[in-house]
Amino acid sequence: MKAAPASGNTDRTRAMDRDKVVEDQTSDRSVRAFALSADAAVAELGADPARGLSTAEVVRRRQIHGENTLKRREARSLLSMLLEQFRGILIWLLMGAAALSLVVGDIAEAIAIACVLLINTVIGFSTSWRATRSMEALYRLTDVTANVRRDGQVLALSAVDLVPGDIVLLDGGDVVTADMRLLEAANLFCDESALTGESLPVIKTTDPISDDALLADRANMAFKGSAVVRGTGLGLITATGMATELGNISNLAMEAEAQGFPLEKRLDKLGSDLVWLAVAFSALIALAGVLRGFDAFLMIETAIALAVAAIPEGLPVVATLALARGMLRMASRNVLISQLSAVETLGGTTIILTDKTGTLTENRMTVMGLLLPDREVGFEDEGELTDAADSELRAALEIAALCNTAELSAPGGNGGARGIGDPMEVALLLAAEDVGLHRPDLLSDRREMRRVPFDSDTKVMATIHETPGGSMAAVKGAPEAVLARATHLATEEDVVPLTDATKSGWLDWIDAVAGRGYRLIGLARKDGMGPEDDPFEGLTLLGFVSFLDPLREDVPPAIADSQAAGVRVVMMTGDHVSTAREIARSAGLGENDSIHAFTEHDLETLYEAEDGEVREEFLKADVFARVTPESKLRLVRNYQQAGHIVAMTGDGVNDAPALKQADIGIAMGQRGTQVAREAAVMVLKDDAFTSIIAAMRQGRVIFDNIRRFVAYLMSCNVSEIMVVGIAILIGLPAPLTPLQILFLNLVTDVFPAFALGLGEGSDDVMKRSPRNPETPIIPPRRWRDIGVFGVFLTCSTLTVYWLAINRFEMDETSATTVAFLALAVSQLIHVFNMRRRLEPLARNSVTANPYVWGAIVVSLALLAAACLLPALASVLELATPSWLQIQLVLAGSVTPLILGQIWLALTRGAED
């Protein structure tokens, strides 16, 4: 009588324990089911492979775990993106200047500054608009159906409705809709490249895996977001929604901090400097004027004018236009940039973390050669297998073509035909075609009777064929598995017994070739098979085929260019370390052919190390192999903490968090997932590493150009402040009105500055080391140049102004016109002082820039209009200049250019 309650309590306890296990899967993804046997995993999750979950149980579990969806991040509104255009101290300064102009009644001045703000906002908003987001791409991965066993029936259900414990039937072409422990797997291959970085489809098994196995090594699991390439399987769902590995990556992407671009930081720093400069100098001049007896209100008005003059109103517009122009140039080199400031940031990159497959390599498996009984074929000829008369070669490739499930899209060699199916099997068909062996022709004489699929336990597969001499088995598989089952060896003369000593020699040979980064498979046959014979016993070994995803031809020169520019290249890949090390060596990574490589397990030492020397040793690595999404993200952060500007390439879902965290995330346009493309700020349309180097050069050119036009604008603004301030201090009337200063800043100065921003750059731009990320746009030496040039412009302008008043006794309007035109024209030709000191005087990057000459012509035309058009001249308070005034203007304009060139020559060794 007492047993029943005990049994009931036990049942309830078991149910509660099962609920706890199922609930805990949200915090321990996949309940580490890969470490359990299939039966143990079923029991752990309270599942029934034969009938599936009941409807009531599904409802109960959904209440615990929710829908099988990924968490959404709230999309940015148009308003938030619009407000983003008003970030930055320079923009705030312009807004403040406009407000001050309104306060003192200078409506025209306020309107002019407002127009500048409007232009900058429109350009920035339209260029920065991003139509889609990385999270939206992740959500689309769940918009599929799955064949699920419930209440004893197989139902096609939306992926959203799946719960832990569901039994899912998998077939070729399916998208895996949740993380699942495989209970059955028949020739099941899954493409997990987007999650793990593994370039080839992964054969699946049902055997338990070590508890500490990495994600890429969990062969008994099928992961949400991966795809079934071929075969069939039965899976037990162990995790749904955000508890899946894909959900974990989604979390990482949301938690990763998008990095502010260095240019934005530098412009903000420059803006801060300008605030103090403007306030301090304006207050000093106002105080000095009051002390000399000038009207206090007049001095306050003058101080405001000087504050306006201190702010380069055209700088935000010119910077935005220069960056937009850089984006167009990069687009012509197959590089798309989604955020303006990223253009310049790329030029400051100090390290590139690059994917291997498709970026450094061609993303296609190629047969590189064969190991035959007495020789290697094909290695010296870079994979070109063209000796059609070689009987041993033909015999091996005949087996490779017969024991094959792929199909070619068209007949031809490696340069033409492509195929459908496993990349390695396609490569075998292409190699066979090279020596004239076409699979359809072979099958016409050797009809395929049956097929024994690849099995993860035996690691071999076979096709049985009917031949005139009887049945024959064509066998291929893992080298060790084929060699272990072989009893004979086919040589050119005869078939001879395969001794243990010979097998040992083959194993050494295989290890040596694998150590060079090649993947290998063995080829064998079995003749005279009976109906009940095991196709894998008593094999005759024919040889071994080596494969490689070939390095792109243009990669080694591009990496050499990168290293010459002082930028390190580090490979991060999901491939095995031996393969990665060989590709890295061929690409030219490392020093003196020495490649420092670490794996995921090694990285645990880095994360736990408090010793700076240990961390530094890891960060000197050339290769990181078998890395997880978390490790990619942590590596990016470690490099950033070490002071690097990090560019990272990626193409898969697993790359999204690190792409977002990197200073420059670079996604592949052809093979990249939409998740990766939208997490990145830069997309390579051609997936080529060389495009990164071209974009890096453009980024450096843009920074040089920005530094030039900022120095140009600042020297012009300094001269305007000094002209007005010194004139007041020595008792002269103000040479310039606030509106005239604004005209100079927004009209005549902007065109030459923009022309400087369009320069093509010098030839040695990629031979310099990367600039220090902390280096400001205007370093101390540049500030010295700005001050010196400002003095030259000021002295020249004040000299002609003083002559106009005291020597030639001109009225105030005529004298102001002389000062205005002298300063304007001298600022225009001052653009030629912006050449690099080491460049020649006559032929340099400024004089060779056609936009500079065009800008001068346009600006001179605008100056003429300001003096000759009555309405404009009236607003600016200018008079039509006489010949005498023009002579004064020309004399005052040329002097700063001559003095500037002398200064550049005297300080030639002070090049930045």
pLDDT tens per residue across span 452-501: 887 767 789 999 999 887 899 999 998 999 999 999 999 888 899 999 99
- CB environment 534-560: b (16+ within 10 A), e (fewer): ebbebbbbbbbbbbbbbbbeebbebbe
| Residue 775 to residue 531: CA distance in whole angstroms | 78
What pLDDT sits at residue 634?
A: 85
Residue 819 · residue 800 · CB < 8 Å:
yes
3-class secondary structure, 185:
strand
- Of 689, 677, 673, 854, which Cα lies nearest the Cα of 756? 854
> pLDDT at residue 6 above 50?
no
- Which residues have CB under 8 Å from 115's CB, separation 6+? none
> pLDDT at residue 774 above 80?
no
pLDDT, tens digit, 9 for 90 and up, residues 281-290 = 777 777 877 7
Count Cβ atoms below 10 Å from residue 134 Cβ, excluding itself: 26
**Residue recorded with tokens 């600016």:** 876
> pLDDT at residue 122 above 80?
no
CB-based burial label for 829 (10 Å; 0-12, 13-18, 19+): middle
What pLDDT sits at residue 271?
A: 62
Residue 797 · residue 819 · CB < 8 Å:
yes
Query: How large is the C-alpha radius of gyration of the chain?
Result: 36
User: Per mean pLDDT, which range of 259-263, 268-272, 746-750, 906-910 is the poorest?
Assistant: 259-263
Give Cα separations from 547 to 129, 355, 503, 529 (angstroms): 44, 19, 21, 30
pTM: 0.66
Confidence of residue 724 (pLDDT cuts 50, 70, 90): confident
Confidence of residue 414 (pLDDT cuts 50, 70, 90): very low
| Residue 505 to residue 410: CA distance in whole angstroms | 39
The residue among 419 and 689 whose pLDDT is bigger is 689
Give Cα separations from 893 to 193, 571, 712, 897 (angstroms): 64, 55, 16, 8
**Residue recorded with tokens 């990619």:** 632
> pLDDT at residue 834 above 90?
yes
CB-based burial label for 447 (10 Å; 0-12, 13-18, 19+): exposed
> Which amino acid does the sequence have at 796?
S
Confidence of residue 81 (pLDDT cuts 50, 70, 90): low
> pLDDT at residue 431 above 80?
yes
Bridge partners (DSSP) of residue 471 are 466, 529
Residue 190 · residue 201 · CB < 8 Å:
yes
Average pLDDT over residues 630-634: 82
pLDDT, tens digit, 9 for 90 and up, residues 493-550 = 889 999 999 999 999 998 888 877 788 999 999 998 877 788 999 999 999 999 888 8
The residue among 371 and 318 whose pLDDT is bigger is 371
Tokens of 846: 């400024």
What pLDDT sits at residue 740?
A: 86
| Residue 670 to residue 691: CA distance in whole angstroms | 13
What pLDDT sits at residue 11?
A: 44
> pLDDT at residue 141 above 50?
no
Confidence of residue 240 (pLDDT cuts 50, 70, 90): very high
pLDDT, tens digit, 9 for 90 and up, residues 669-715 = 776 666 677 678 888 888 888 888 888 888 888 888 888 888 898 89
What pLDDT sits at residue 27?
A: 40
Q: Catalytic residue, from 355, 549, 575, 663: name it.
A: 355
Strands 227-239 and 179-191: antiparallel
The residue among 12 and 121 whose pLDDT is bigger is 121
Residue 867 · residue 817 · CB < 8 Å:
yes
- Of 223, 249, 233, 208, which Cα lies nearest the Cα of 33? 208
Give Cα separations from 21 to 24, 459, 634, 760 (angstroms): 5, 34, 30, 63
What pLDDT sits at residue 383?
A: 46
- Of 850, 797, 856, 798, which Cα lies nearest the Cα of 831? 856
Task: Give alpha helix (H) positions in 129-233.
Answer: 134-140, 193-196
Secondary element (H or E) of residue 372: strand 366-372
**Residue recorded with tokens 């901090």:** 257
DSSP string, 86-142: T-SHHHHHHHHHHHHHHHTT-HHHHHHHHHHHHHHHHHHHHHH--S--HHHHHHHTT
Q: What is the mean pLDDT of the chain?
A: 81
At residue 231's C-alpha, the angle toward residues 31 and 37, to 5°, is 30
Task: Give alpha helix (H) positions in 257-357.
Answer: 262-291, 296-310, 315-332, 340-347
| Residue 823 to residue 889: CA distance in whole angstroms | 8
Strands 597-599 and 623-625: parallel
> pLDDT at residue 75 above 80?
no
Average pLDDT over residues 146-172: 92
Confidence of residue 280 (pLDDT cuts 50, 70, 90): confident
The residue among 14 and 592 whose pLDDT is bigger is 592
> pLDDT at residue 330 above 60?
yes
Give the phi and the psi of residue 454 in degrees, each rounded to 5. Answer: -60, 135
**Residue recorded with tokens 């036990």:** 10
| Residue 738 to residue 102: CA distance in whole angstroms | 13
Residue 245 · residue 215 · CB < 8 Å:
yes
| Residue 346 to residue 340: CA distance in whole angstroms | 11
SS (H, E, C) 784-843: HHHHHHHHHHHHHHHHHHHHHHHHCCCCHHHHHHHHHHHHHHHHHHHHHHHCCCCCCCCC
Contacts 24+ apart (CB under 8 A), 724-731: 724/285, 724/302, 724/305, 724/306, 724/309, 725/281, 725/284, 725/285, 725/306, 726/794, 726/798, 727/798, 727/801, 728/285, 728/288, 728/289, 728/294, 728/302, 729/285, 729/288, 729/289, 729/292, 731/292
What pLDDT sits at residue 2?
A: 35
Count Cβ atoms below 10 Å from residue 234 Cβ, excluding itself: 20
DSSP string, 14-82: HHHHHHHHHHHTTTSGGGGGGGS-HHHHHHHTT--TTT-B-HHHHHHHHHHH--S-PPPPPPPPHHHHH
What pLDDT sits at residue 7?
A: 39
DSSP string, 591-622: BTTB--EEEHHHHHHHHH---HHHHHHHTT-S
> pLDDT at residue 195 above 60?
yes
- Of 448, 456, 425, 420, which Cα lies nearest the Cα of 545? 425
| Residue 647 to residue 663: CA distance in whole angstroms | 6
Average pLDDT over residues 45-53: 93
| Residue 704 to residue 408: CA distance in whole angstroms | 51
Is 593 among the catalytic positions?
no
Give Cα separations from 689 to 113, 206, 334, 647 (angstroms): 43, 39, 11, 12
> pLDDT at residue 272 above 70?
no
Give Cα separations from 37 to 19, 207, 231, 656, 814 (angstroms): 20, 7, 21, 33, 96
What pLDDT sits at residue 591?
A: 80
pLDDT, tens digit, 9 for 90 and up, residues 635-676 = 898 898 888 999 998 877 677 788 888 988 898 877 666 667
Range among 22-26, 554-558, 604-608, 615-619 rated most confident = 554-558
Tokens of 123: 């350009």
> pLDDT at residue 560 above 60?
yes
| Residue 802 to residue 822: CA distance in whole angstroms | 12
Average pLDDT over residues 795-810: 94
| Residue 404 to residue 417: CA distance in whole angstroms | 16
Average pLDDT over residues 764-786: 82
Confidence of residue 609 (pLDDT cuts 50, 70, 90): low
Confidence of residue 331 (pLDDT cuts 50, 70, 90): confident
Using left for φ > 0, alpha for ψ between -120 and 50, and beta otherwise, residue 670 falls in alpha
Give the phi and the psi of residue 327 in degrees, each rounded to 5. Answer: -65, -40
Q: In what order do the strands lie in the sheet with 623-625?
A: 335-337, 682-684, 664-668, 646-650, 351-354, 568-573, 623-625, 597-599
Alpha carbon 167 to its chain's center = 38
